[in-house]
Structure 1
Amino acid sequence: MTADTSAPRARTFPFRSQPWILTYHSVSDPTEDPYGITVSADRLDEQLTWLRRRGLTGVGIAALLRAWRAGKRGLVGLTFDDGYADFLDEALPVLLAHGCNATVFVLPGRPGGSNAWDPLGPRRPLLTEEGIRTVAAAGMEVGSHGMLHRDLTALSDDELRRETHGSREALRLIVRQAPSGFCYPYGTADRRVVESVREAGYAYGCALAPGSLSGPLALPRTHVSHADRGARLRAKEVRHRLRHRSPGAMGPGDAE
């Protein structure tokens, strides 16, 4: 994994639209999927083909933010939450075939476990520590999703510190490098949680719809499902550009 400690810390982006970041979870059979978070490898291939035909290349978030600061265009962030083991066999080959990278947010407190936090299932295996190292060795960015996938806003200060600070240290031991990024479980954060992420030393944080917290430590993202094809992806891109704007000069993509 390539470290990127130069990613921007808490400040307002200088561009009118914040970077577009897509959120994936499991890449496997979507037949049994009560939460709508699974896409098949074939559908992922179709979605990446759509992006590439539009001149967009998927990258990890540290790389995306570095390019965004430099005013470069043509990139979209790809994130895979929860660290499902199927990333290695199903998602990784598709990403590499399209010349894309991604950030995989993993749970170092559940190596080789399963998504026990989802009451409706189905149970899917998570990456082992060796699997996490394999992801990093393949050139993907590894980020933290906390230790155990808990709602951080409901935790005590000590529990919160373990999820933010503790998971960063745990990943440093696994991949020999501290992660730059943190992803809030369930996409949920508040000011206390964001401050804990800042104090832990993360350069950026990923949410879903952060509202007034929006910024480098609470980046908005777009959920992607198996139902998303060209027209739906385009609609989601337009919605992102309209919803997530920052004060300042026009930036990459806004003049399109």
Structure 2
Amino acid sequence: MYHSVAVEKEDPYRLTVSPERFAEQVAWLHRRGRRGVSVRELMHARTLGRADGLVGLTFDDGYADFARYAVPILQAYGFTATAYVVADLLGQDNGWDAEGPRKKLLTVQEVTELAAAGWEIGSHGLGHQALPGLPAEALEVQARESRRLLEEVVGGPVTGFCYPYGAVDLAATLAVRDAGYDYACAIAHSSLTGRFALPRCYVGDRDGAWRLRAKQARHRLRDTVTDLRRKAGR
């Protein structure tokens, strides 16, 4: 789970990875025989039993620096990724981050071009609003309307959703499922973990090789624990 790839003097939310560090992280995956892919490709490969060696790479919020910095580095290694964009805020900035630096978001044209070039574009809701606790009607609007708007932009299906702030509850997962998405990304492992609440591993600017190995091991352990609890009916 990435957010922004850029150079920032201030980063209170630890959402930014420098282009140099990002290049190191991508090279680390490549040396280990891994290939970064979109979550759409990863889910399809898992269905076919061909997901070995694949790593889903995600970029939340749809920052403009995804196209400027992340895409060229990923292309150099033959990697792909998914960008989750905020449908109502294309071309604006991250006004929801009160204490962080203002970051430009991808424009409509940039999203259109990325999709045409094969990058997966997913929904991150309408205005970066947390979904838990919203009335059923509001949940439906967040899920369905954001998908409709983005499908007009990309000229094709939008099948992935990512919960703003990683915040998710049962009602949110059902709204996303009923809106026709194929999967949805959360962050933490929980009782909801599954196709519509996929857990992800946060990656930051401090993450070098040994920290990435540790995070990979921890993520796998949590997957195992979640599977065991599910099988035990807990």
Smaller-chain TM-score bracket: over 0.9
- Single out whichever of 128-137 and 216-225 deviates more from structure 2: 128-137
Partner of 2:203: 224
- Pair 1:26 & 2:4 matched: yes
List aligned pairs for 1:1-256, cutoff 5 A: 23-72=1-50, 73-245=52-224, 246=227
User: 1:244 aligns to what SS in structure 2?
Assistant: helix
Asked if structure 2 preserves the Cα contact closer than 8 Å seen for 1:168 and 1:179, the reply is yes
Partner of 2:231: none
Q: What is the Cα deviation at residue 161 of structure 1? A: 1.4
Q: What is the Cα deviation at residue 139 of structure 1? A: 1.6
TM, length-normalised to structure 2: 0.94
Cα distance between partner residues in 1 of 2:157 and 2:128: 19
Of Structure 1 and Structure 2, which has the larger fraction of its residues in helix? 2
User: 2:105 aligns to what SS in structure 1?
Assistant: coil
Q: What is the Cα deviation at residue 31 of structure 1? A: 2.5
- Change in 2 beyond 3 A, CA 1:210/1:195: farther
Cα distance between partner residues in 2 of 1:64 and 1:177: 19
Asked if structure 1 preserves the Cα contact closer than 8 Å seen for 2:5 and 2:66, the reply is yes
Q: Unaligned 5+ residue runs, structure 2?
A: 229-234
Cα distance between partner residues in 1 of 2:202 and 2:20: 18
Cα distance between partner residues in 1 of 2:28 and 2:189: 27
Q: Unaligned 5+ residue runs, structure 1?
A: 1-22, 248-256
Asked if structure 1 preserves the Cα contact closer than 8 Å seen for 2:19 and 2:70, the reply is yes
Q: What is the Cα deviation at residue 158 of structure 1? A: 2.1
User: 1:212 aligns to what SS in structure 2?
Assistant: coil
Cα distance between partner residues in 2 of 1:24 and 1:137: 22
Asked if structure 2 preserves the Cα contact closer than 8 Å seen for 1:165 and 1:200, the reply is yes
Asked if structure 2 preserves the Cα contact closer than 8 Å seen for 1:188 and 1:210, the reply is no
Q: What is the Cα deviation at residue 125 of structure 1? A: 0.6
Letter in 2 for 1:43: R
Q: What is the Cα deviation at residue 40 of structure 1? A: 1.0
Q: What is the Cα deviation at residue 137 of structure 1? A: 2.0
- Single out whichever of 60-69 and 75-84 deviates more from structure 2: 60-69
Asked if structure 2 preserves the Cα contact closer than 8 Å seen for 1:34 and 1:121, the reply is yes
Asked if structure 1 preserves the Cα contact closer than 8 Å seen for 2:189 and 2:223, the reply is no
Asked if structure 2 preserves the Cα contact closer than 8 Å seen for 1:183 and 1:206, the reply is yes
Number of residues of Structure 1 aligned to a counterpart in Structure 2: 225
Q: What is the Cα deviation at residue 210 of structure 1? A: 4.0
TM, length-normalised to structure 1: 0.86
**Runs of 4+ off more than 3 Å:** none
Between the aligned residues of both structures, percent identity stands at 48
Cα distance between partner residues in 1 of 2:32 and 2:10: 31
Partner of 1:10: none
- Change in 2 beyond 3 A, CA 1:151/1:199: same
User: 1:222 aligns to what SS in structure 2?
Assistant: coil
Q: Relative contact order (alpha carbons < 8 A, sep ≥ 6): 1 or 2 greater?
A: 1
